[in-house]
Structure 1
Amino acid sequence: MIQDERFTVSRVPVVDTYALRAKVLRNGGPPEAARITGDDDPGVATYAATDADGTVVGCVGLFPEPCPDLPEHPGKGWRIRGMATEDGWRGTGVGTQVLKAALDHVAAEGGGLVWCNARTSAAEFYRRAGFVEIGEHWDDPEIGPHVRMWRAV
């Protein structure tokens, strides 16, 4: 658990993150629109930042999945999915601390390669956390421009 004076980051059931994921990542759709295939896999770890009222203000899902661009990389592959921060909480450290919890989880599991399909608007955030781009940028017709990024843990 990560404790900050404004929020707490802890592992949570994935369903606790659906409302925020839908709002931020699915243009305000219903919570069920944020469900990702594999969310219920027992190997998936979901972390959320909650404010003093218990409202989820940031979240991330960590899926055991090898990176398709780096199949020979030693160690287990972990994919970041469903990472979101509430608009009013961006720039306050919530995203950084939620991502730190995910990376700490990977380290506790023996390390490996962590990767994501990042929206290009979030690429700088991931770069600051040590991620590098791999491959070409592409446009997802439903959610916009992306780039794959990775880092070792």
Structure 2
Amino acid sequence: MLNTINTPKYIIKLISAQESYQVRHPVLRPGRAFETCIFDGDTLETTFHFGIFLNNQLLGICSLFKNEHKNLSDAHQYQLRGMAVLAEQQGKGLGKLVLNYAESFIKAKGITTIWCNAREVATKFYTNLGYEIFGEPFEIEKIGTHYAMYKPLQ
């Protein structure tokens, strides 16, 4: 599978963990220490980071981690983390584009389920892309209410 996709306007490609921080920090950890946007496992060989670009400017990112959720029975799971689009670029479909690409990428590697801990405000975004909530809502300190969500990759 190609590691880059060109849409009519945007380029989506694999990026480094370090590149993802320039979007992850201001969107997901505003006003907090930079280190809070660095996740355990960011630099593992099994972790993939994707970016969507316009004119060489990174506008949105998502990261996929080899991680199994204890309440999902599928043995071939990946966790979506760090899904973020710069505030001024939100609402243009960029998140959907980069996430669809990331899902196709891991599906081609034999992964059959993707899951995430979605912020309450993002559940509609994920539901519209075929994700389903499972379990009860839970709190993540200093971030807020989250829902576990998953999607079979078929």
Letter in 2 for 1:64: K
| TM-score normalised to structure 1 length | 0.92
Q: CA RMSD in A?
A: 1.4
8 Å contact from structure 2 (residues 78, 111) kept in 1: no
Alpha carbons 1:19, 1:31 under 8 Å: kept? no
- Match in the other structure for 1:56: 58
Instruction: Quote the offset at 1:14 in angstroms.
Output: 1.1
Structure 2 residue 18 is the aligned partner of structure 1 residue 18: no
**One-letter amino acid of the structure 2 residue matched with residue 22 of structure 1:** H
How many equivalent pairs are there?
A: 150
SS of the residue corresponding to residue 124 of structure 1 reads helix
| Match of residue 140 from structure 2 | 140
Ranges of 4+ aligned residues in structure 1 off by more than 6 Å: none
- 1:37-76 correspondence runs (5 A): 37-52=40-55, 54-70=56-72, 72-73=73-74, 75-76=75-76
Q: Is the 8 A contact 1:61 1:80 kept in 2?
A: yes
Unaligned runs of 5+ residues in structure 2 are none
Q: TM-score, normalised by structure 2?
A: 0.91
Looking at structure 2, the residues matched to 100 and 66 of structure 1 have their Cα atoms a distance apart, in angstroms, of 20
Deviates more, 1:136-145 or 1:16-25: 136-145
Which residue of the partner structure matches residue 106 of structure 2? 106
CA distance in 1, matches of 2:144, 2:100: 26
Provide the identity percentage: 27
**By how many angstroms is 1:91 displaced?**
1.3
- Structure 1: gaps spanning 5 or more residues: none
| CA deviation profile, 1:47-93 (whole Å, cap 9, x unmatched) | 001121x22110000001112211x22x4110001110011111111
Residue 27 (structure 1) aligns with: 30
Shift of residue 30 of structure 1?
5.0
CA apart distance, 1:29: 3.7
State the match for 2:83 in structure 1.
83
In 2, Cα distance between equivalents of 1:106 and 1:135: 24
Deviations 1:104-128 (A, max 9, x none): 1121101311000000100011111
